[in-house]
Amino acid sequence: MKTKTIFLYTVLCLIWGTTWLAIKVSLNEGTPPLLGAGLRFLIAGIVLWGIFFIRRESLPRDKRAIGIYLQFGLLNFSLSYGITYWATQYIYSNLSAILWAGFPFVIAGIAHLMLPDDKLTAKKIFSILIGTTGVVLISIEGQVLGGENVTIGILAIIFAVFVAAWPNVYLKKYHRTVNTLQLNTVSQTIAGITLIAASFWLESDRTMIWSEINIIALVYLAIIGSVVTWLIYFWLFSQISVTKISYVAFFPPVIATVIGWLILDEKLTNPAIIGALLVLTGALLINIPGKTNHVSI
C-alpha cells in the first residue's frame, strides 16, 4: 500500500478506537444518551449535506434507495446507536467496543440467509464459535465488572449489534443503489432528527450539561468520528481491497481497550480478558481470506 493509504487507514482505526472514550466521557458528564447520539448525527448530517452540495451530487430517490436510507437511518444509526449510547452508561467503554467487534459474526450469519454468493464456510463457522464463546465469557463476568446494570448493558449492546447487521447485509445486496456519501448524508440526518425527537419524549427529565468537556466530545464525535471517518472510509474503497478494509473491525476495539485502561481505569477480569481475546480473534479470522467451501445449514 502507498504511504498515504497506510496513513489514512491508521488514522481511521485510531479515530474509531477513540470514539468509545469520547462517548463514555460525554455520558459521564451527564449527557442524555439519546440526545448525545442525536446531536452527533444531526451535526454530522448538516456537514455532510454541505459536502454533498459542494460536490453537486444527485440523490437517488427510487423505492429501493429510500428503503436503504430508512433502514440505515432508523435501524443502524437511530436504534442501534441509541441502544449503544444507553448501554455504555452502565458498562466500560472498552467492553462496548469489544462486543461490537462481533459485528462481522452477525453479518456472516445474515448474509448466509440473504446472499446466495456469501454462504457460511467452515472457517466462518469456526470464527463465529470462537467469538460467541468470548461474548458468553464476557457476559458471565458482567456482574463483577461494575454496577448492577452491567449485564443488562452487555445484553443491550449485543442486541444493538444484531439490529445494525440487517441494513448492512441489505446494502451489500444492493450496493450499487447508493454511494457512501449519499447513504450517510441522508441516514445520519434521519438518525439525528429521530434520536432528538425520542430524547424529548424519553429523556424529558434530563438536561444536557454544556460543559467544555461535553462540547469537545460532541464536536469530536460529530466531525471527526462521523464525518471524517466516513470520508476516509469512502476514499479507501478506491485504493485497497474490501478484504483489507474489513480489518477495521479488529483494530479499534484493541485501541479502545488500551485507552479505557489508561485513561478511565477500566480494568477487566482475567476471564473477561480471555473473552475479549476470543472475540477479537474471531473477528480477525472471519476477515482473513480463505477457501470458499460452503457449508449448508
**3 state SS for 137-190:** HHHHCHHHCCCCCHHHHHHHHHHHHHHHHHHHHHHHHCCCCCCHHHHHHHHHHH
pTM of the model: 0.84
List own/partner pairs for 165-168 with CB under 8 A and 24 or more apart.
Answer: 165/103, 165/106, 165/107, 165/109, 165/110, 166/71, 166/75, 166/110, 167/68, 167/71, 167/72, 167/75, 167/76, 168/76, 168/107
Task: Assign 222 a pLDDT band (cuts: 50, 70, 90).
Answer: very high
Q: Within 13 Å and on the Cβ side, how many CA atoms surround 1?
A: 16
Residue among 170, 144, 253, 263 at smallest CA distance from 213 = 263
Asked whether residue 88 is assigned to any structural domain, the reply reads yes
pLDDT over 90 percentage in the chain: 34
CA end-to-end distance (rounded Å), the chain = 38
Domain that holds residue 103: 3-285
What is the DSSP track for 198-226? HHHHH-TT------HHHHHHHHIIIIIII
Residue 295 lies in a domain: no
| Count of the separate structural domains present in the chain | 1
Q: What span, in angstroms and rounded, lies between the C-alpha atoms of 219 and 201?
A: 24
Residue 45 lies in a domain: yes
- Whether the pLDDT of residue 204 is over 60: the answer is yes
Q: Is residue 27 in a domain?
A: yes
Mean pLDDT computed over every residue of the chain: 83
Residue 290 lies in a domain: no
User: Grid coordinates representing 205?
Assistant: 427529565
Distance from chain centroid for Cα 37: 12
* 46-81 pLDDT per residue, tens: 999 999 999 888 899 999 999 989 998 999 899 999
293 occurs within a structural domain: no
Q: Could you tell me the three cell numbers for 179?
A: 454511494
Better pLDDT: 116 or 271: 271
Distances (CA, A) of 193 to 19, 248, 279: 21, 28, 33
Q: What percentage of the chain carries pLDDT values higher than 70? A: 85
Determine, yes or no, domain membership for 101. yes
Q: Any idea which of 94-98, 105-109, 186-190, 284-288 has the lowest mean pLDDT? A: 284-288
Flag whether 296 is in a domain. Answer: no
